[in-house]
Structure 1
Amino acid sequence: MRNGLKWVVATGMFILLVAMIILGLRWSEVKTSTNRAIFNSKMTPTILIPGSSASQNRFDGLVKELNKGVNKHSLLKVTVKETGAMTVSGKLRARDQAPYMVVAFENNHDGYANIKKQAAWFNKAILMLQKRYHFRRFQAIGHSNGGLIWTRYLEQYYQAEELQVNVLMTIGSPYNFAEKSINNKTQMLADFIKHRKALPTDLTVYSILGTETYDDDGIVPEESVEAGKYIFQKQVAHYTQITVTGDDAQHSNLPQNDQIVQLIQQNILPKPMGSELNRPKS
């Protein structure tokens, strides 16, 4: 009886071991296939993060303007819930190599503590998008707090072995929140400066500053946007600050500003036929 029981147990363990080996091989094949698709992908999406209080629809007007030309691209929208669950809307058109992907958050409130959470949620979202759509290279745009979320993500989560960001444009991003003096660094700015060495050294950054008045865009102080230079200068490959004025230079209108639309077309979006991005020369 005991010998029979031992035989049953041994047989069961052998079958379990064989099953685990087969499942492991299949998982390895799937992962290898996915990694190969990502490595060989020509897709370079433009990924956009809105600011606080904004939804996944924040960039609808901007994308509409960008799609007025010959090269029209798909728009995908992701909203990350506080649980980490995600909803995805929109459809990727066949052979579209440069879609727009917007990542927004159910908890879209302001504050440094929330920006930390949003960066962690964004990390999950971009990995999901990469797995689903098989891309490695991408361009980044962040409006207001969206630029802060991008910065936190790049310093804390970004892995150059898995993804490659070509260029980042921050639009009216308050790197020192409401402070007007660099001598009064917020904890967020101090942390960004402390961890700046984690930023990719081959990154091109454009920081857009809007001026509705002489010293701000109606909400964000000019000095707060300019504080970004203490994070990016002499760390990334290129850092350029650009000031826009006139119509739609108010903070909430900046994504639809004609000058900014033109800057995005010239410096962020891939050229047709998958050619290299426009970048300032060294």
Structure 2
Amino acid sequence: MLLLTIFIGLPAYFWTKSHVTKERVQNRSRLYPIVLVPGSSATENRFDGLIDKLNTGNKKTSLLKITVKENNQLRIRGRIFPRDRRPFIVIAFENNKDGYRNIQKQARWMSVAMNYLTEKYQFNHFSGIGHSNGGLVYTLFLEKYMDQNQLLLDRLMTIGTPYNFSETNMNQRTNILQELISKKEKLPRNLTVYSIDGTTNYTTDGIVPSTSVSAGKYVFQNQVGQYTKITVTGKDSQHSDLPQNKEIIQLINEYILQSVPGPQDTAAVP
């Protein structure tokens, strides 16, 4: 009798789980923010220049800035306008130092901020941009902290992200790359990832080796829905200048800002 109950119960359980997930996907919230995470040593103001350039024309998009303190408290500046569907939200960290252990902490602090945001603003899907180590924080957050039954990240753009830190030899995998690879099955299967590599000489952007950016393929390829690596050169292709690079701004406009679900996917969620 017990075995029979299990055989009957398991299909019902998986059907229910699949059905609930499908309903959640089909009933996406109207609010669909772009969440940006800066790299090490950068503050909540890191993307001001980028957002100014994206805010062209008469329509100005909301900007909310959150800095997570080491005690998990949040410092919040700015606001989201009531009718703004695609606001910018920056998540930064009071302790913004570099290093493997610190990036792990920042991924957990990101989850603190995201829990606050989803509870207050009631959105269930978003797009993401991470610059430099911000892309590592984002990937760790996805693998370790994001509940995919409650929240969907559909598109992620990482800019100059050193998936293998400063290592130029792909056969020498650093701790951060090994961890990201070991937990990659936790990544959202339908996620689209754009990995942007800036380069002044086709080997480095002045700080991050191109081979380290390319190491992201070991994390995302054949794991998410789509993974694309894009190289930009020329003016503003140095590491710290990448968020203001005209080509990258064009890519953000095309692949992040204009990637809005159709009307059938936008039913409001209370």
Q: TM-score, normalised by structure 2?
A: 0.85
State yes or no: 1:79 paired with 2:55.
no
Aligned-pair distance for 1:271?
5.5
**Residue 154 of structure 1, aligned match among 138, 142, 147:** 142
Displacement, 1:93? 1.3
TM superposition shift of 1:156: 0.4
Shift of 1:70: 5.1
Partner-residue secondary structure (3-state), 2:45: coil
**1:191 pairs with 2:179:** yes
- Cα deviation for residue 162 of structure 1 reads 1.1
* Deviation beyond 3 Å, 4+ runs, structure 1: 270-277
What amino acid does structure 2 have at the position aligned with 1:268? I
Equivalent residue runs for 1:21-32 within 5 Å: none
Deviation (angstroms), 1:213 = 1.9
Task: Give, as a single letter, the amino acid of the residue that structure 2 aligns with 1:192.
Answer: L
AA aligned to 1:237 is: G
- Deviation at 1:92? 1.3
CA distance in 2, matches of 1:170, 1:231: 13
* Cα pair distance change 1:72/1:159, threshold 3 Å: same
The structure whose Rg is larger is 1
1:159-193 Cα distance to aligned partner (Å, 9 max, x none)? 11111111000000000000001111001101111
- Bigger relative contact order, structure 1 or 2 (CA pairs below 8 A, ≥6 apart): 2
Q: Please state if 1:233 is matched with 2:188.
A: no
Counterpart position of 2:35: 47
Q: TM-score, normalised by structure 1?
A: 0.82
User: 8 Å contact 2:54–2:253 — kept in the other structure?
Assistant: yes
Matched ranges for 1:263-282 at <5 A:
263-270=251-258
* Structure 1 residues 193-238: Cα deviation after superposition (integer angstroms, max 9, x where no partner): 1111110100000000000123100000010000000000000000
Query: What is the letter of the counterpart of residue 163 of structure 2?
Result: Y
- Residues in 2 aligned to 1:149 and 1:101: alpha-carbon distance in whole angstroms: 15
Counterpart residue type for residue 30 of structure 2? K
Q: CA separation of 1:201/1:174 partners in 2, compared to 1, >3 Å: closer, same or farther?
A: same
- The RMSD of aligned alpha carbons is 1.8
Correspondence for 1:56: 44
Q: Percent identity?
A: 52
Classify 1:56/1:196 alpha carbon distance in 2 versus 1 (closer, same or farther; 3 Å): same
Q: How big is the shift at 1:275?
A: 5.9
Aligned counterparts of 2:261 and 2:161: Cα–Cα separation in 1: 32
Give a deviation string over 1:14-39, Cα, whole Å, max 9, x none.
xxxxxxxxxxxxxxxxxxxxxx9xx6
Counterpart residue identity of residue 143, structure 1: H
Q: Are residues 1:114 and 2:102 paired?
A: yes
Q: 1:246 aligns with which of 231, 234, 238?
A: 234
Among 249, 265, 269, the alignment partner of 1:261 is 249
Q: Is the CA contact 1:74–1:100 (under 8 Å) kept in the aligned structure 2?
A: yes
> Is the CA contact (8 Å cut-off) linking 2:28 and 2:125 kept in structure 1?
no
In structure 1, the gaps of 5 or more residues are 1-35, 278-282
1:272–1:207 Cα change, 3 Å? closer
Q: Tell me, what secondary structure is at the counterpart of 2:257?
A: coil
The CA deviation at 1:144 is 0.1
Match of 1:144 in 2: 132
The 8 Å contact of residues 143 and 171 in structure 1, kept in 2 or not, is answered as yes
